[in-house]
Structure formats: structure tokens, C-alpha cells
Amino acid sequence: MKKLLTTILSLGVAASAALAAEPAITAVKVANVNDAAAWSKAKFQTITLYPQTAIEFNDKKANELTANAKAKKAEVAALHDGKNIALMVKWADKTRDLQQCTSSDNYSDGFAVQFAGATKKAQPLPYIGMGSNGRPVVVHLQKATPKVYEPNGNKNVAYQINRQQTGVFGKELADFDAKVASLANTDYEKVFVGEGFRTLTEIKDGSAKSNATMTFSPAGWNATLVRPLKDAYVNLNGTVPVSVAVWDGSKMGRNGLKNLSAWVAINLEGQKANAAMVSELTTDPKGDAAKGKEAAMMNGCNGCHQVEATDPKSFMGPALTNVGGYSTAAYLRESILNPSAVVVPGYNRNAHANTPWYNIENGKRVSTMTDYSFLDKETVDNIVAYLKSLKAEVE
């Protein structure tokens, strides 16, 4: 019986593991990525976006809406023209959710593309959750927010007052309204740099160029992003690792309440691919997931982590319920052998003051997780294979 169970388990794991590694995407070389006709040459690949479940936020309604969230499929294609790279992301969404300027509790659909800061190494890539110490990322964000205003009213305080306080009527009031409307920023597009969750900082000095669009149809969203291959933040060549995230406003999605992909390899056509990186991102890790599960139990992972969705939640370590979906094998291996290699500043530690998941020693975050570097290589391989199998079903 036990043997049969193991076989079934490993079969199940093998079946889902086949979905694990994403295919590499080819960024087709075109004359000009800004030419809409160029997309006819694009080669779409399907990637999977997993619900972010590493940490749970404190929004009760949103947590109810996203409990048992499923993974989503997205169609992704890329183009490049030697100067710029363009991405197109298509995903199904039944509702077009726009954050209105008149509501306290609605949220927009949106999408983001994360690029690794200048790196040629196949591993370790930056931590998928907005990078990690010394491994920066650049994140391009586009939200379907129709109108937002600058907090300081573009330093034009006179236009912050209400229309009835202007003391004018008729044409003068209409002029006032028109001027106020013209001060709105109608494109919620932002570029950020980050070295870990919570460090994300908007680039506001114009040094990061980008152009993102989102178009809705009954099938869902079609989003594009164009950015330079090289700027002060990244130098994209050969093989470009990217990660895609989408938000669903109807599920109160924002910030970590999203679906995101693992790092996906994009090969720039006409350039030499980074074979090591492609292999890293497109191949499933070796190892016996069933044995890995046993090893994870024996080593007490679930003492601090919610490992599977059925395990109790923990404030100590991040939940691992979708870690197989969005993490690379290299990151998982690194975190087992050297838990302090990536310790995100994380959710404010004061939110759970009695379960500190890191201490600061000599100015560095030192994880409170046990160092598992004593495990033999095979066991680590097995645990990594098991962790890679942890992910939600596709909806």
C-alpha cells in the first residue's frame, strides 16, 4: 500500500512538475517595436501566473475573496529592435475594473513586468518578490486607474479647492473645471526599483523610460510594455529574465494580492542566448518530490511555514503554498542551505512582534530559520523537487 501511495504521489508530482518550468520566449527581431504591425510576427507562449501567498495581508474582505485563489494562464510574446524590447501579455478577466476617483474601497485591474537588474548569471536571480539585497529589480506597473491627481496639486494649490468655493459661476466655473480636469494624470504608469519587498521606490526623475498600455475586450486584457534594452537600471541582452504579474480589481487586488509568474527566459533573436540561464528557467529540477515531502516533514519545515494549503497558517516563515509556482529551484536551494541569503525586509515585523523571522546583526538581516546546510545533496534535491510541486491549480 505504501509503495502504491508513493507511486501515485510521484506520478501526481511528475504530472504537475511537467507544468512547472515555463518555456523560453523568443523576442522576435523587428525593425521597430513601436510599429503595431510588428506584432503579427510575434510568437506567443503560455505561462502560468500563481497567486502570491507567501504572506497574508490584513484586509479581511480581500482575504475572503482570494482564499483558495487559483493560478491563471497568460499568453506572452516579445519583440525587440535592437534598442527597445516590447512585451505583450494577454490574460482572461471577466470584468473591467477601474479604480474610481470617488470611492474608498475599489481597486483596478493592472499588470506589471519585472526585470532583473543588470545580471548575466543564471543564478541566483533576484528574489521574485521585488528583488533582494544586492540583487535589484526594475518593475514597470500599469494600472487601469483612469484619473489620479498629484498630492500637491502640481504645486497649484488654487486648483485643489472645491468648485463651490471658487466663488465663480457660469463660464468662469466651467473654465475652472476644465483646468482641474487637465491637471489629472490619466495614465497610471509607474516604474520602480527595488531590492526586496517593501523597498520598492518609484523612479520619478524621468531616468526610466517606458510605455505601457492596457486594452480590454470580452476575452480579457491585452497589455503591452515597451522599454529600452539598456538604461541606467538594466542592460538586457542575450537572455532576459522577466516576471509578469496581474491584478484583478474585482478581487480587491493590489500590491501582494496578485498573480505572478516565475522568472521566464526571453531570448533576444539574433543574439547569443545565455544557455545556462535558459536551462535554469526551463528545466524541472532533479529529485524525488515524494521523498522530498518526507524529508520536509522530518526536518520540521511546517513548524514555521505553512507548507501545503491544508497546514495551519504561520506568521513565522512565508507560506510555501505557491512557492513552486513562482520561485526558481536555485532560490529554493539557496534558502535551504543559507537561509540568510535572502531575507526580505518583509511585512512590518511589528505586525507580528512575537514571531520575529529575522534579527539584525551588524546591520544585516539574519534569518531565524535553521541552517539546513548539513543535509546531503540528494535530500536537498528531493526537498527542492517537492517545493517546486507546491502550487495552486490553474483556474
Instruction: Summarize as ranges the residues that interact with another protein (CB under 8 A).
Output: 57-61, 63, 99-105, 145, 148-151, 153, 160-162, 164-165, 169-170, 173, 188, 197-202, 254-256, 315, 345, 347-348, 350-355
Do residues 139 and 258 make contact, with C-beta atoms less than 8 angstroms apart? no
**Nearest-angstrom CA–CA distance, 59 and 386:** 30
**DSSP letter (8 states) at residue 389:** T
| Nearer Cβ to another protein (3/60) | 60
- At 392 the three-state DSSP class reads coil
Nearest approach in angstroms of CB 197 to another protein is 7
Nearest approach in angstroms of CB 152 to another protein is 8
**Residues present in the chain in total:** 395
| Nearer Cβ to another protein (144/289) | 144
What is the H or E stretch that residue 116 is in?
Answer: strand 110-116
* Closest to 269 in 3D by CA, of 34, 11, 7, 24: 24
Nearest approach in angstroms of CB 63 to another protein is 6
Give CA angle at 295 (292, 301), nearest 5°: 105
| Nearer Cβ to another protein (68/104) | 104
**Nearest-angstrom CA–CA distance, 292 and 333:** 12
| Nearer Cβ to another protein (203/277) | 203
| Nearer Cβ to another protein (46/186) | 186
| Nearer Cβ to another protein (66/274) | 66
Nearest approach in angstroms of CB 14 to another protein is 36
Nearest approach in angstroms of CB 101 to another protein is 5
Residue 230, burial from CB neighbour count under 10 angstroms (0-12, 13-18, 19+) = middle
Nearest approach in angstroms of CB 94 to another protein is 22
